[in-house]
Amino acid sequence: MPQQEPGPRPTARPDASMSLLTTLMSTTLDEGYAEAAARRRAEGRSDLPRTLRARLWLATGLVLAGLVVTLGAAQARESAPTVARERSELLDRVDAGTAAVDVLHDDVDELRAEVAALRREALGGAGAEGAELAALLAGATPVTGPGIELTVDDAEGTAGTPGDPRDGGAFDAGRVRDRDLQRVVNGLWHSGAEAIAVNGQRLTALSAIRAAGDAVLVDNRPLAPPYSVLAVGPGDDLATAFAASDGGRHLAALRDRYGVRAGTDVRDEVSLPAAPGLTPRVARPAA
């Protein structure tokens, strides 16, 4: 009996060892679900509600859902102008309050000048000179004389993001902070300044420079950059001494490392207002 010539062996499928995965990929619907769907089609049944009541409930639910979505969108559209209007009204109230406070400060300055005149008249001679010196040192009277002006401003392109600069968090290192102004002012005092004002706010021994959020406060009055620091003292000598002080070195570091803009201008005459809100704390009857 002649032997049959061996033919080529059938090649095995590459995915023969992955029959389970192949089935899962090719058959996405379980056979039981497919049989149940075919049986419902054969019996003429539908997945939709068959009774009129069920269909009415379904329609009512769809209508209510549409109303809720429509009302939500309408309220959102209506609330946006309301928020903008309330914000505008609040800003107007702030501006009006600030203007009223400025008027009151002017009235206080006028009354302070009248009180100073009456005090000089009542004391006379050496007593008047001593009172004026004490008022000058306390910041209770305006002062004019030679001095310097320091202008300190945030770096160009400062984004104004919240946070504390140079602390490694979410911040903008180019912003001038309260502690920066504190070191600048302390450097001026240490360099021989006789009187200092920041953006028109006269500083005294009881003044505080601090922060509230991103705002810099001087005696609870918010200030905005650029910050103009006026100091009364011996012009050129004061500028030289300040540059060598801790405050001057700190300001130079801010300028060189973080781009903070700062400049010094020596002036023949600068004028500083009196400090508002001075309250006597110690008094005794005169002899």
Q: Which domain holds residue 240?
A: 145-272
Residue 185 included in any domain: yes
Residues 180-227: tens digit of each pLDDT: 999 999 999 999 999 999 998 899 888 889 988 778 888 888 888 899
Where residue 27 falls (left for φ over 0; alpha for ψ -120 to 50; beta otherwise) is: beta
**Non-local CB neighbours of 49 within 8 Å, separated by 6+ positions:** 55, 57, 58
Residue 27 included in any domain: no
Long-range pairs for 126-129 at CB < 8 Å and ≥24 separation?
A: none
Mean pLDDT of the chain: 78
Query: How far apart are the C-alpha atoms of 159 and 153, rounded to whole Å?
Result: 13
pLDDT at 85 over 50: yes
Choose the weakest-confidence range: 55-64, 192-201, 262-271.
55-64
Residue 235 included in any domain: yes
Dihedral over Cα of 204, 206, 212, 214: its sign? positive
- Name beta bridge partners: 272: 143
**Nearest 10 degrees: CA dihedral of 218, 222, 226, 227?**
-10
Q: How far is CA 171 from the centre of its chain?
A: 10
Tell me the two tokens of residue 279: 């309250």
- Name beta bridge partners: 125: none
How many helical (H) and strand (E) elements, i.e. helices and strands, does the chain have?
7, 8
Residue 172 included in any domain: yes
Task: Select the more confidently predicted residue: 13 or 26.
Answer: 26
Residue 214 included in any domain: yes
pLDDT at 122 over 90: no
pLDDT of residue 165: 43
The pLDDT of 238-264, averaged and rounded, is 92
pLDDT of residue 89: 86
Residue 208 included in any domain: yes
- Confidence class of residue 252 from pLDDT cuts 50, 70 and 90? very high
Residue 121 included in any domain: no
Vertex 126: Cα angle to 124 and 132 (nearest 5): 80
Residue 129 included in any domain: no
Please tell me whether residue 66 adopts helix, strand or coil conformation. helix
Instruction: Provide the CATH number for the domain around residue 233.
Output: 3.30.70.1880
- Confidence class of residue 46 from pLDDT cuts 50, 70 and 90? low
Query: How far apart are the C-alpha atoms of 233 and 126, rounded to whole Å?
Result: 24
How many domains would you assign to the chain? 1
Task: Select the more confidently predicted residue: 167 or 123.
Answer: 123
